[in-house]
Structure formats: structure tokens, C-alpha cells
Amino acid sequence: MELADRAVGLLLSIISLSIFTYYTFWVIILPFVDSDNFVHKYFLPQEYAILLPVYAGVTLICFLSVFIGYVMLKSKKKKA
């Protein structure tokens, strides 16, 4: 089981590093590259650089709120 946990941790680390590298290149470096360069076809328009993290954050906060509410209701039923 320990090997599986390490494999999952490594996979999550690789995915996180890939997303961070892609987003950093997209937001910080790409605006300084000419718009007719071939590299621009691998990235979404710049508007999404703000919209995607905002939507992801709102979704995360919603799921966390629902989870916390569920746990609170479940613990209240256990006490009664």
C-alpha cells in the first residue's frame, strides 16, 4: 500500500507541476511573444487566464461548503 501511495503522490506532483508551468508560461511569458508566433496556438485566449482560476475557486468553495454542511448535519444527528 505504501508503494501505491507514493505512486499517487508522484503522479499528483507531476500533474501539479505541469499545470503550474503551463499557467506560468501562459500568463507571464506569452504576452511578450509576438502574436503571430506559432506558440500562441497551444494556449487559450488571455481572458481565460483569469476566468478559469476564478471558476475553479468558486467551485472549490461551493464543494467545501456543501461538505462542511453535510458533516455538521451528520454530527448533529449522531449527538441526538
6-21 pLDDT tens trace: 999 999 999 999 999 9
Are 40 and 33 spatial neighbours (Cβ–Cβ below 8 Å)?
Answer: yes
Cα distance from N-terminal residue to C-terminal residue, the chain: 37
**What's residue 4's pLDDT?**
87
Helix (H, G, I), strand (E, B) or coil at 45: coil
Nearest to 43 by CA among 29, 55, 57, 54: 29
Report the pLDDT value the prediction gives residue 38, as an integer from 0 to 100: 92
d(CA 12, CA 18): 10
Place of cell 476564478: 54
Say what the pLDDT of residue 76 is: 81
* pTM (predicted TM-score): 0.69
